[in-house]
Homo-oligomer: A and B are copies of this chain.
Amino acid sequence: MKEIKGNIASPKGFTADAIHAELKFQKLDLGVILSEVPAVVAGVFTTNKVTAAPVQLDKAVVAEGVAQAIIVNSAIANAVTGEEGLNNAQKTQRLLAEKFELNKSHVAVCSTGVIGKQLPMDKIALGISKLSAKNGHIDGFAEAILTTDTVKKEVVYEVEIGGQTVTIAGVCKGSGMIHPNMATMLAFITTDVKIDQALLQKMLSEVIETTFNQITVDGDTSTNDTVLVLANGLAENAEITDENSADYATFKAVLAQICQTLAKKIAADGEGATKLIEVNVTGAPDELSARMIAKQIVGSSLVKTAIFGADPNWGRVISAIGQVAPFEVSDIELEIQGDLVLLHSTPVDFDQAELSEKLKKKVVVIDAELNTGDKTGTAWGCDLTYKYVEINALYHS
Protein backbone atom coordinates (compact mmCIF):
# COMPACT_ATOMS: atom_id res chain seq x y z
CA MET A 1 0.00 0.00 0.00
CA LYS A 2 1.13 3.56 -0.50
CA GLU A 3 -0.16 6.93 0.61
CA ILE A 4 -1.06 9.26 -2.26
CA LYS A 5 -2.21 12.84 -2.57
CA GLY A 6 -5.91 13.22 -2.99
CA ASN A 7 -9.19 13.66 -1.20
CA ILE A 8 -12.44 11.93 -0.38
CA ALA A 9 -13.37 11.93 -4.11
CA SER A 10 -10.16 10.22 -5.26
CA PRO A 11 -11.60 6.69 -5.46
CA LYS A 12 -13.29 6.03 -8.84
CA GLY A 13 -16.86 7.23 -9.17
CA PHE A 14 -16.92 9.49 -6.11
CA THR A 15 -17.38 13.22 -5.98
CA ALA A 16 -18.05 15.77 -3.28
CA ASP A 17 -19.19 19.34 -2.78
CA ALA A 18 -19.37 21.85 0.04
CA ILE A 19 -21.08 25.19 0.51
CA HIS A 20 -21.82 27.82 3.12
CA ALA A 21 -25.47 27.38 4.09
CA GLU A 22 -25.38 30.08 6.77
CA LEU A 23 -25.42 27.66 9.65
CA LYS A 24 -22.03 29.01 10.67
CA PHE A 25 -21.24 32.72 10.46
CA GLN A 26 -18.96 32.52 7.44
CA LYS A 27 -17.37 29.12 6.95
CA LEU A 28 -18.38 26.10 4.88
CA ASP A 29 -21.00 24.17 6.82
CA LEU A 30 -22.82 21.80 4.45
CA GLY A 31 -21.10 19.04 2.47
CA VAL A 32 -22.02 16.01 0.42
CA ILE A 33 -20.22 12.88 -0.74
CA LEU A 34 -21.73 11.20 -3.80
CA SER A 35 -21.05 7.94 -5.59
CA GLU A 36 -21.99 7.48 -9.27
CA VAL A 37 -23.45 4.10 -8.42
CA PRO A 38 -24.96 2.64 -5.26
CA ALA A 39 -22.22 1.43 -2.91
CA VAL A 40 -22.22 -1.13 -0.15
CA VAL A 41 -22.09 0.67 3.18
CA ALA A 42 -20.80 -0.26 6.62
CA GLY A 43 -21.12 1.86 9.73
CA VAL A 44 -20.43 2.10 13.42
CA PHE A 45 -22.14 4.51 15.75
CA THR A 46 -21.89 6.07 19.19
CA THR A 47 -22.66 3.84 22.15
CA ASN A 48 -24.22 6.81 23.91
CA LYS A 49 -27.82 5.98 24.87
CA VAL A 50 -28.75 9.53 23.93
CA THR A 51 -28.34 9.36 20.16
CA ALA A 52 -28.87 12.21 17.76
CA ALA A 53 -31.67 12.01 15.18
CA PRO A 54 -29.36 11.42 12.17
CA VAL A 55 -27.68 8.51 13.95
CA GLN A 56 -31.04 6.78 14.27
CA LEU A 57 -31.66 7.33 10.58
CA ASP A 58 -28.18 6.16 9.47
CA LYS A 59 -28.52 2.94 11.43
CA ALA A 60 -31.45 2.08 9.16
CA VAL A 61 -29.40 2.90 6.04
CA VAL A 62 -26.54 0.66 7.19
CA ALA A 63 -28.96 -2.10 8.10
CA GLU A 64 -30.10 -2.16 4.47
CA GLY A 65 -26.44 -2.14 3.41
CA VAL A 66 -26.52 0.25 0.44
CA ALA A 67 -25.73 3.97 0.22
CA GLN A 68 -24.97 6.43 -2.53
CA ALA A 69 -24.61 9.73 -0.67
CA ILE A 70 -23.72 11.24 2.67
CA ILE A 71 -24.97 14.72 3.50
CA VAL A 72 -23.29 16.41 6.46
CA ASN A 73 -23.92 19.69 8.24
CA SER A 74 -21.83 21.26 10.95
CA ALA A 75 -22.87 23.88 13.56
CA ILE A 76 -25.98 22.03 14.76
CA ALA A 77 -25.95 18.44 16.03
CA ASN A 78 -29.67 17.76 15.75
CA ALA A 79 -29.41 15.89 19.04
CA VAL A 80 -32.02 16.00 21.84
CA THR A 81 -34.44 17.52 19.37
CA GLY A 82 -37.26 14.99 19.73
CA GLU A 83 -39.80 14.20 17.03
CA GLU A 84 -39.14 17.44 15.18
CA GLY A 85 -35.43 16.61 14.95
CA LEU A 86 -36.13 13.20 13.48
CA ASN A 87 -38.53 14.76 10.96
CA ASN A 88 -35.83 17.25 9.99
CA ALA A 89 -33.24 14.52 9.47
CA GLN A 90 -35.72 12.62 7.30
CA LYS A 91 -36.56 15.75 5.34
CA THR A 92 -32.84 16.41 4.74
CA GLN A 93 -32.53 12.85 3.46
CA ARG A 94 -35.51 13.26 1.15
CA LEU A 95 -34.37 16.64 -0.20
CA LEU A 96 -30.94 15.29 -1.06
CA ALA A 97 -32.41 12.18 -2.70
CA GLU A 98 -34.71 14.37 -4.85
CA LYS A 99 -31.91 16.75 -5.80
CA PHE A 100 -29.63 13.95 -7.10
CA GLU A 101 -32.37 11.49 -8.07
CA LEU A 102 -31.33 8.85 -5.60
CA ASN A 103 -33.20 6.24 -3.64
CA LYS A 104 -34.05 7.99 -0.34
CA SER A 105 -32.93 4.99 1.70
CA HIS A 106 -29.49 5.27 0.09
CA VAL A 107 -28.79 8.66 1.68
CA ALA A 108 -26.98 8.91 5.01
CA VAL A 109 -27.35 12.12 7.04
CA CYS A 110 -24.84 13.41 9.61
CA SER A 111 -24.83 16.45 11.87
CA THR A 112 -22.33 17.86 14.33
CA GLY A 113 -22.45 20.90 16.55
CA VAL A 114 -24.79 22.35 19.15
CA ILE A 115 -27.12 20.03 21.04
CA GLY A 116 -30.79 20.83 21.65
CA LYS A 117 -31.23 23.19 18.71
CA GLN A 118 -33.42 22.48 15.67
CA LEU A 119 -31.98 22.60 12.16
CA PRO A 120 -33.16 25.69 10.20
CA MET A 121 -34.77 23.63 7.43
CA ASP A 122 -35.17 26.59 5.08
CA LYS A 123 -31.40 27.07 5.06
CA ILE A 124 -30.79 23.34 4.70
CA ALA A 125 -33.21 23.14 1.76
CA LEU A 126 -31.68 26.15 0.05
CA GLY A 127 -28.20 24.74 0.69
CA ILE A 128 -29.07 21.36 -0.79
CA SER A 129 -30.45 23.03 -3.90
CA LYS A 130 -27.03 24.62 -4.43
CA LEU A 131 -25.02 21.41 -4.12
CA SER A 132 -23.57 19.98 -7.29
CA ALA A 133 -22.40 16.57 -8.50
CA LYS A 134 -20.13 18.15 -11.10
CA ASN A 135 -17.23 20.56 -10.58
CA GLY A 136 -18.14 20.82 -6.94
CA HIS A 137 -15.91 22.26 -4.23
CA ILE A 138 -14.45 18.83 -3.47
CA ASP A 139 -11.65 20.07 -1.24
CA GLY A 140 -14.16 22.01 0.80
CA PHE A 141 -15.86 18.88 2.13
CA ALA A 142 -13.17 18.20 4.73
CA GLU A 143 -13.58 21.77 5.93
CA ALA A 144 -17.39 21.85 5.93
CA ILE A 145 -17.62 19.11 8.56
CA LEU A 146 -15.32 20.79 11.10
CA THR A 147 -16.45 22.39 14.35
CA THR A 148 -13.67 23.54 16.70
CA ASP A 149 -11.11 21.43 14.87
CA THR A 150 -8.11 23.53 13.89
CA VAL A 151 -7.05 21.49 10.83
CA LYS A 152 -8.63 19.40 8.06
CA LYS A 153 -8.09 15.67 8.44
CA GLU A 154 -7.77 13.60 5.28
CA VAL A 155 -5.74 10.64 4.04
CA VAL A 156 -5.73 8.61 0.82
CA TYR A 157 -4.08 5.27 0.05
CA GLU A 158 -3.68 3.11 -3.05
CA VAL A 159 -3.26 -0.64 -3.02
CA GLU A 160 -3.23 -3.49 -5.54
CA ILE A 161 -6.06 -5.94 -5.05
CA GLY A 162 -6.66 -8.80 -7.50
CA GLY A 163 -4.54 -7.07 -10.13
CA GLN A 164 -6.49 -3.81 -9.90
CA THR A 165 -5.53 -0.54 -8.29
CA VAL A 166 -7.91 0.18 -5.45
CA THR A 167 -8.12 3.64 -3.90
CA ILE A 168 -9.35 4.28 -0.40
CA ALA A 169 -9.83 7.72 1.09
CA GLY A 170 -10.78 8.93 4.54
CA VAL A 171 -11.86 12.21 6.03
CA CYS A 172 -12.90 13.02 9.57
CA LYS A 173 -13.55 15.67 12.17
CA GLY A 174 -13.35 15.34 15.88
CA SER A 175 -12.48 16.65 19.24
CA GLY A 176 -14.05 19.88 18.36
CA MET A 177 -16.81 21.20 20.50
CA ILE A 178 -19.29 23.77 19.58
CA HIS A 179 -20.91 25.24 22.62
CA PRO A 180 -23.00 24.22 24.29
CA ASN A 181 -21.76 20.90 23.46
CA MET A 182 -19.41 18.09 23.05
CA ALA A 183 -16.73 16.50 21.04
CA THR A 184 -18.23 14.61 18.14
CA MET A 185 -16.28 12.34 15.87
CA LEU A 186 -17.43 11.86 12.29
CA ALA A 187 -15.38 9.82 9.82
CA PHE A 188 -16.20 8.96 6.22
CA ILE A 189 -14.29 6.51 4.10
CA THR A 190 -14.82 6.08 0.37
CA THR A 191 -13.33 3.35 -1.78
CA ASP A 192 -13.81 1.82 -5.19
CA VAL A 193 -13.07 -1.68 -3.97
CA LYS A 194 -15.61 -4.40 -4.72
CA ILE A 195 -16.45 -6.19 -1.49
CA ASP A 196 -19.32 -8.06 0.08
CA GLN A 197 -21.30 -5.78 2.43
CA ALA A 198 -21.35 -8.17 5.37
CA LEU A 199 -17.59 -8.60 5.15
CA LEU A 200 -17.05 -4.85 4.98
CA GLN A 201 -19.15 -4.38 8.09
CA LYS A 202 -17.29 -7.14 9.93
CA MET A 203 -13.95 -5.67 8.91
CA LEU A 204 -14.94 -2.15 9.95
CA SER A 205 -16.27 -3.29 13.30
CA GLU A 206 -12.95 -5.02 14.01
CA VAL A 207 -10.74 -2.19 12.77
CA ILE A 208 -12.62 0.38 14.86
CA GLU A 209 -11.65 -1.42 18.05
CA THR A 210 -7.94 -0.73 17.63
CA THR A 211 -8.21 2.68 15.99
CA PHE A 212 -11.09 5.10 16.59
CA ASN A 213 -12.08 3.38 19.82
CA GLN A 214 -8.54 3.80 21.12
CA ILE A 215 -8.46 7.56 21.10
CA THR A 216 -9.62 9.81 23.88
CA VAL A 217 -9.61 13.54 24.29
CA ASP A 218 -11.69 14.08 27.38
CA GLY A 219 -13.36 10.77 28.10
CA ASP A 220 -16.74 11.89 26.81
CA THR A 221 -18.62 9.95 24.14
CA SER A 222 -20.74 12.07 21.87
CA THR A 223 -24.38 11.62 20.91
CA ASN A 224 -23.41 11.84 17.22
CA ASP A 225 -20.27 9.73 16.67
CA THR A 226 -20.47 8.02 13.30
CA VAL A 227 -18.08 6.19 10.98
CA LEU A 228 -19.33 5.25 7.50
CA VAL A 229 -17.52 3.36 4.73
CA LEU A 230 -18.85 3.40 1.16
CA ALA A 231 -17.41 0.86 -1.29
CA ASN A 232 -18.78 1.29 -4.84
CA GLY A 233 -16.90 -1.53 -6.58
CA LEU A 234 -15.75 0.57 -9.55
CA ALA A 235 -12.13 -0.63 -9.22
CA GLU A 236 -13.49 -3.82 -10.78
CA ASN A 237 -11.37 -6.16 -8.69
CA ALA A 238 -12.77 -9.66 -8.21
CA GLU A 239 -15.24 -9.10 -5.36
CA ILE A 240 -13.84 -9.80 -1.91
CA THR A 241 -16.13 -12.46 -0.51
CA ASP A 242 -13.84 -14.63 1.62
CA GLU A 243 -12.54 -13.35 4.92
CA ASN A 244 -9.67 -15.83 4.74
CA SER A 245 -8.44 -14.53 1.40
CA ALA A 246 -5.27 -12.52 0.80
CA ASP A 247 -7.38 -9.73 -0.74
CA TYR A 248 -9.44 -9.45 2.41
CA ALA A 249 -6.29 -9.22 4.52
CA THR A 250 -4.75 -6.63 2.20
CA PHE A 251 -7.81 -4.42 2.16
CA LYS A 252 -8.29 -4.73 5.91
CA ALA A 253 -4.69 -3.60 6.45
CA VAL A 254 -5.29 -0.48 4.35
CA LEU A 255 -8.57 0.25 6.09
CA ALA A 256 -6.81 -0.11 9.44
CA GLN A 257 -4.03 2.20 8.29
CA ILE A 258 -6.55 4.83 7.18
CA CYS A 259 -8.56 4.60 10.39
CA GLN A 260 -5.42 4.76 12.54
CA THR A 261 -4.12 7.79 10.65
CA LEU A 262 -7.45 9.60 11.01
CA ALA A 263 -7.73 8.62 14.68
CA LYS A 264 -4.28 10.02 15.42
CA LYS A 265 -5.15 13.23 13.59
CA ILE A 266 -8.20 13.62 15.82
CA ALA A 267 -6.18 13.00 18.98
CA ALA A 268 -3.45 15.43 17.93
CA ASP A 269 -6.09 18.10 17.23
CA GLY A 270 -7.87 17.53 20.55
CA GLU A 271 -9.28 20.65 22.14
CA GLY A 272 -6.44 22.80 23.41
CA ALA A 273 -3.87 20.08 22.69
CA THR A 274 -0.21 20.90 22.21
CA LYS A 275 0.98 17.29 21.93
CA LEU A 276 -0.10 13.90 20.59
CA ILE A 277 0.39 11.12 23.14
CA GLU A 278 0.83 7.51 22.06
CA VAL A 279 0.78 4.74 24.65
CA ASN A 280 1.91 1.23 23.74
CA VAL A 281 1.14 -1.54 26.19
CA THR A 282 2.94 -4.84 25.64
CA GLY A 283 3.21 -8.08 27.58
CA ALA A 284 -0.47 -8.27 28.52
CA PRO A 285 -2.35 -11.58 28.85
CA ASP A 286 -5.03 -10.46 26.37
CA GLU A 287 -5.55 -7.70 23.81
CA LEU A 288 -8.65 -6.24 25.42
CA SER A 289 -6.78 -5.59 28.68
CA ALA A 290 -3.82 -4.17 26.78
CA ARG A 291 -6.04 -1.71 24.92
CA MET A 292 -8.00 -0.82 28.05
CA ILE A 293 -4.81 -0.09 30.02
CA ALA A 294 -3.33 1.96 27.17
CA LYS A 295 -6.53 4.00 27.00
CA GLN A 296 -6.63 4.50 30.78
CA ILE A 297 -3.08 5.89 30.75
CA VAL A 298 -3.69 8.21 27.81
CA GLY A 299 -7.02 9.34 29.30
CA SER A 300 -5.73 10.10 32.80
CA SER A 301 -6.02 13.80 33.60
CA LEU A 302 -2.92 13.47 35.75
CA VAL A 303 -0.86 11.93 32.94
CA LYS A 304 -2.23 14.48 30.45
CA THR A 305 -1.33 17.46 32.64
CA ALA A 306 2.12 16.03 33.42
CA ILE A 307 2.85 15.76 29.71
CA PHE A 308 1.60 19.27 29.14
CA GLY A 309 4.15 20.29 31.77
CA ALA A 310 6.89 18.10 30.17
CA ASP A 311 7.15 16.20 33.42
CA PRO A 312 8.30 12.53 33.18
CA ASN A 313 5.85 11.57 35.89
CA TRP A 314 5.99 7.77 35.75
CA GLY A 315 4.14 7.37 39.05
CA ARG A 316 0.94 8.62 37.41
CA VAL A 317 1.41 6.16 34.57
CA ILE A 318 1.76 3.10 36.72
CA SER A 319 -1.06 4.22 38.96
CA ALA A 320 -3.27 4.38 35.86
CA ILE A 321 -2.20 0.85 34.97
CA GLY A 322 -3.06 -0.39 38.44
CA GLN A 323 -6.51 1.19 38.29
CA VAL A 324 -7.79 -0.96 35.45
CA ALA A 325 -5.50 -3.99 35.15
CA PRO A 326 -7.68 -7.05 35.76
CA PHE A 327 -4.56 -8.99 36.79
CA GLU A 328 -1.58 -8.48 39.12
CA VAL A 329 1.04 -6.02 37.88
CA SER A 330 4.30 -6.38 39.75
CA ASP A 331 6.93 -6.44 37.01
CA ILE A 332 6.35 -3.30 34.94
CA GLU A 333 9.00 -1.92 32.62
CA LEU A 334 8.28 1.64 31.59
CA GLU A 335 9.84 3.84 28.96
CA ILE A 336 8.97 7.48 28.29
CA GLN A 337 10.25 8.91 25.00
CA GLY A 338 12.50 5.83 24.83
CA ASP A 339 14.12 6.45 28.21
CA LEU A 340 13.81 3.66 30.76
CA VAL A 341 12.29 4.98 33.98
CA LEU A 342 11.03 1.83 35.70
CA LEU A 343 12.33 -1.75 35.63
CA HIS A 344 10.75 -4.67 37.51
CA SER A 345 8.29 -2.08 38.92
CA THR A 346 11.23 -0.32 40.59
CA PRO A 347 12.42 3.21 39.80
CA VAL A 348 15.54 3.48 37.69
CA ASP A 349 17.91 6.46 37.70
CA PHE A 350 17.40 8.62 34.64
CA ASP A 351 18.35 12.11 33.54
CA GLN A 352 15.30 14.11 34.59
CA ALA A 353 16.32 17.29 32.77
CA GLU A 354 17.14 15.49 29.54
CA LEU A 355 13.88 13.53 29.56
CA SER A 356 11.90 16.67 30.36
CA GLU A 357 13.50 18.25 27.32
CA LYS A 358 12.40 15.27 25.17
CA LEU A 359 8.86 15.72 26.50
CA LYS A 360 8.66 19.11 24.83
CA LYS A 361 8.33 17.42 21.43
CA LYS A 362 4.98 17.38 19.59
CA VAL A 363 4.66 13.61 19.93
CA VAL A 364 5.11 11.81 23.24
CA VAL A 365 5.44 8.03 23.32
CA ILE A 366 4.98 5.93 26.46
CA ASP A 367 5.85 2.21 26.31
CA ALA A 368 4.66 -0.05 29.13
CA GLU A 369 5.76 -3.72 29.20
CA LEU A 370 3.68 -5.63 31.74
CA ASN A 371 5.49 -8.98 31.60
CA THR A 372 2.31 -10.97 32.05
CA GLY A 373 1.78 -12.25 28.50
CA ASP A 374 2.46 -11.40 24.87
CA LYS A 375 -0.54 -9.32 23.82
CA THR A 376 -0.36 -5.64 22.91
CA GLY A 377 -2.54 -2.57 22.65
CA THR A 378 -2.08 1.08 21.67
CA ALA A 379 -4.05 4.22 22.41
CA TRP A 380 -3.72 7.87 21.44
CA GLY A 381 -4.67 11.08 23.15
CA CYS A 382 -3.43 14.56 23.87
CA ASP A 383 -2.29 16.71 26.74
CA LEU A 384 -4.64 18.62 29.05
CA THR A 385 -3.94 22.32 28.88
CA TYR A 386 -5.12 25.73 30.01
CA LYS A 387 -6.54 26.10 26.53
CA TYR A 388 -8.79 23.04 27.03
CA VAL A 389 -10.27 24.65 30.12
CA GLU A 390 -10.65 27.95 28.30
CA ILE A 391 -12.39 26.40 25.28
CA ASN A 392 -14.80 24.47 27.43
CA ALA A 393 -15.41 26.97 30.21
CA LEU A 394 -15.45 30.35 28.58
CA TYR A 395 -17.45 29.81 25.38
CA HIS A 396 -20.94 29.91 26.75
CA SER A 397 -23.92 27.91 25.56
Contacts and interface: CB of A to CB of B under 8 A. Distances in A.
Interface of A: 47-51, 79-80, 82, 114-116, 177, 179-183, 218-223, 300-302, 305-306, 308-309, 311-316, 318-323, 325, 327-329, 342, 345-347, 352, 356, 384-386, 388-390, 392-397
A330 B256 CA distance: 35
A314 B396 CA distance: 12
28 contacts: A48-B319, A49-B322, A49-B327, A49-B329, A50-B329, A50-B345, A80-B318, A82-B345, A116-B347, A180-B314, A180-B315, A181-B313, A182-B316, A182-B319, A218-B300, A223-B319, A301-B392, A302-B392, A305-B393, A306-B392, A309-B393, A311-B393, A311-B396, A315-B397, A384-B389, A384-B393, A386-B386, A389-B389
Contact of A302 (B218, B316, B329, B390): B218
Contacts of A47: 323
Contacts of A80: 315, 318, 342, 345-347
A84 B131 CA distance: 71
B322 A182 contact: no
Nearest to A180: B313
A321 B79 CA distance: 14
Contacts of A327: 49
A180 B50 contact: no
Contacts of A116: 314-315, 347
Contacts of A223: 319, 322
Nearest to A396: B311
A308 B393 CA distance: 6
A285 to B, nearest CB: 13
A322 B392 contact: no
Contacts of A218: 300-302
A181 B329 CA distance: 19
A397 B179 CA distance: 35
A347 B115 CA distance: 10
